[in-house]
């Protein structure tokens, strides 16, 4: 495998996005920017409409592994505000039918990672998962969808289990958010910066594009994903072509970084077969 002019060589040449073309809506760039408190803190304050004293980063791009047989998850941004609340922020560019259950899985694993065996459940921190979507997952035109556990029979009664899920939609059309959050989501969606914060974000993105360190890491990340495909090719010699295709597709689905069309392209499976695998993995 060779890497040349930001193109990965497989059985055919297929372009991937050049590092210098990344925007804040690309999860790699989003993670670079949000790992810096000076941007992550006002981002959370704008989204949540609260003031945060400070934030801490337990681990950047944290991977939570609880069992060798269980799925592991890579968190784009995982921060702790030091005030008994943990936030997981994810950038999402591809609509997936399993997104709600993915949020549930993330939240459950974070909780299991936070609390040690034998500790009291009251020691669990509040847990907020935020998905920033460049599409409307519910097709209702809202910019902001938030979910908490409430009583079905009495909506005034909350479970108060400390969990919350927030889905932001950069394509919203309803007047349902603050002007500051609207400006932020518009910027993520590709519009020009219109206030002090988005202008700072824009400068931060430009600075990150000049970083050799992050360029190399991005290149290595893309190569690592495609290395998994090559591993599948070797596996195919032992278990057969069709099984290798399935193994490739499963690995790409688990990586959570490829569209169904890309998975079909690289694995050789049909779109329908990829969708069936996706449903099996989500169970």
Buried b (16+ CB within 10 A) or exposed e, 72-102: ebbbbbbbbbeeebbbbbbbbeeebeebeeb
Quote the pLDDT of residue 63: 63
Q: Name the strand (E) or helix (H) holding 80.
A: strand 77-80
% residues pLDDT > 90 (the chain):
43
Q: Which residues pair with 133 in a beta bridge?
A: 92, 169
- pLDDT at 239 exceeding the cut of 60: no
- Decide: 58 and 49 in contact? Cβ < 8 Å: no
Place of tokens 């020691």: 123
For residues 192 and 267, the model is more confident at: 192
Domain segments of the chain: what residues?
Answer: 19-210, 213-282
> How far apart, in whole angstroms, are the C-alpha atoms of residue 204 and residue 234?
41
Per-residue pLDDT tens for 14-28? 346 788 999 999 989
Q: What is the mean pLDDT of the chain?
A: 82
pLDDT for 196 beyond 50: yes
Q: 73 pLDDT band (50/70/90 cuts)?
A: low
Computed over its alpha carbons, how large is the radius of gyration of the chain? 20
CA atoms within 13 A of residue 273's CA, in its CB half-sphere: 15
What's the pLDDT at 3? 31
Query: What pLDDT is recorded for position 1?
Result: 30
d(CA 199, CA 197): 5
pLDDT at 6: 33
Q: Which residues pair with 74 in a beta bridge?
A: 63
What integer is the mean pLDDT of 180-186? 98
| pLDDT above 50: residue 168 | yes
| Cβ contacts of 177-183, under 8 Å, gap ≥ 24 | 177/143, 177/144, 178/46, 178/49, 180/46, 181/46, 181/47, 181/143, 181/144, 182/143
């Amino acid at each position: 495998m060779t890497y040349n002019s930001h193109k990965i060589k497989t059985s055919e040449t297929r372009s991937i996005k050049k590092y210098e073309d990344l925007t804040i809506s690309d999860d790699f760039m989003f993670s670079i920017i949000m790992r810096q408190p000076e941007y992550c803190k006002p981002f959370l304050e704008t989204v949540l409409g609260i003031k945060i004293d400070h934030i801490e980063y337990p681990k950047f791009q944290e991977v939570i592994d609880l069992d060798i047989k269980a799925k592991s998850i890579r968190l784009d941004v995982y921060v702790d505000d030091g005030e008994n609340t943990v936030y997981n922020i994810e950038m999402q560019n591809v609509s997936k039918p399993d997104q709600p259950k993915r949020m549930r899985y993330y939240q459950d694993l974070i909780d299991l990672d936070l609390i040690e065996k034998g500790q009291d459940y009251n020691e669990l921190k509040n847990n907020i998962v935020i998905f920033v979507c460049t599409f409307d997952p519910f097709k209702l035109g809202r910019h902001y969808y938030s979910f908490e556990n409430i009583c079905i029979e009495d909506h005034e009664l909350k479970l108060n289990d400390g969990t919350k899920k927030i889905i932001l939609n950069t394509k919203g059309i309803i007047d349902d958010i603050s002007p500051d959050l609207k400006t932020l989501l518009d910027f993520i969606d590709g519009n020009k910066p219109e206030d002090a914060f988005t202008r700072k974000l824009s400068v931060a993105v430009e600075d990150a594009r000049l970083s050799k360190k992050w360029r190399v890491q991005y290149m290595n990340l893309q190569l690592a994903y495609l290395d998994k495909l090559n591993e599948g090719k070797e596996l195919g010699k032992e278990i057969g072509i069709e099984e290798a295709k399935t193994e490739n597709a499963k690995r790409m689905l688990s990586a959570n970084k490829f569209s169904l069309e890309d998975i079909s392209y690289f694995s050789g499976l049909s779109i329908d077969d990829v969708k069936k695998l996706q449903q099996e993995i989500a169970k």
